[in-house]
Amino acid sequence: MVKVGVVGYGVIGQRLADGVALQEDMELVGVADVSPTLAVRALKEKGMPYDLYIAVPENKELFDKAGIPVSGTLEDLVQKVDVILDATSAGVGARNKELYKKYNKKAIFQGGEKNDVADVFFHGYANYEKGLGKQFLKLTSCNTTGLIRAVDCLDREVGIEKVAITIIRRVADPGDYHRGLTNALQVDKAPNHQAVDLMTIMPHVDATGILVHTPVTHGHIITVVATPKREIGKEEVLKYFNQHPRIRVVRLADGFLGNASLFRYARDLGNPRGDMYEIAVFEETIVNSGKDIMFAINIPQEAVVIPENMDAIRAAMEMQTDRLEAVALTNKYLGMGKWMEK
């Protein structure tokens, strides 16, 4: 049983903790955070299902005043685990790395950290083998994670030469107050980092793209124009996507009109927090343009990276050396692909 700790109990950290708790071959030792945030207060109100550790010992009085029990410090947590999932704010993970090195622990960092924080820039489906036994892995961002899932799916079947993407990006997570746009869209310069990151993971694919920030919070939409190595049509693309446990094919005709429809559907399914681990491909957007194939996907940014984090633990700890065996176990324990059985 691999022992796991989660550092940073925010938007991603909460979901990482839940994801680890679902893995039957992993044990969640505890979570760490710096202050009694709303997420930590909710943890207390739920009966403290996870042990809590203080990342900044000087803040112990704040936890005491809030009546939140703690099990020790971040350093205590690190000593008790085999691997850390670091879900702290960008830059904090790089500082925490020194602590992980001190105790010779493995750690997995999130997309906000710089690539040089880790030995391997990791994606469960696309380059699992490169993460085997490594001490430090870094995950791709939410958009890049979902994008690579779709491109890798087609690349393994028919080969992909290049992709051109447009990301319609949510501006902030639900509940965030620190930034926002009103009646405005904002365009970033090309190429966006997701295209560059895709090429880092899949160097044989030529990728470029544009990103547009939008004043919404529930999910990103990415349009992809992919050039396959041989001509493929909509039905063949649908066949490959329908076989992938982390890709859900949805139809506009059934009421899946966009990001909000998918978020509402996740809530109607009873998913905690309205989370969806899978990306969605809108069936009616799959079209040919000459040799190219075009389609649009939805990225549920709060939860989409959780499966790949579980894959990263499996690779770093060499729990499974076979890529497909590893991702299949992650999918099974997270309950992914259930819609394929209906």
Residues involved in catalysis: 142
Dihedral in degrees, nearest 10, Cα atoms 257, 150, 240, 332: -90
DSSP designation for 138: E
Tell me what percent of the chain is helix, strand and coil, each rounded to the nearest 5.
Answer: 40, 25, 35
Return phi, psi of residue 199, to 5°: -70, -25
Sequential DSSP letters for 221-285: EEEEEEEESS---HHHHHHHHHT-TTEEEE-GGGT--SHHHHHHHHHHTT-GGG---SEEEEGGG
**∠ CA 129-115-294, rounded to 5°:** 70
Q: Are the CB atoms for 259 and 220 separated by under 8 Å?
A: yes
Return phi, psi of residue 247, to 5°: -130, 120
CA distances from residue 137 to 85, 88, 120 in whole angstroms, order as listed: 10, 15, 5
The single-letter code of the amino acid at 100 is Y
The single-letter code of the amino acid at 342 is K
Answer yes or no: is 86 a known binding residue: no
Angular region, 272: left φ>0, alpha ψ -120 to 50, beta rest: beta
Which two structure tokens, joined as six digits, stand for 245?
Answer: 């446990």
Would you call 45 exposed, middle or buried from its count of C-beta atoms within 10 A (0-12, 13-18, 19+)? exposed
Distance, CA of 79 to CA of 83 (rounded, Å): 10
Q: Are the CB atoms for 221 and 126 separated by under 8 Å?
A: no
Cis amide prior to 191 (ω within 30 degrees): yes
| Binding-site residue positions | 33
* Binding-site residue set for NAD(+): 33
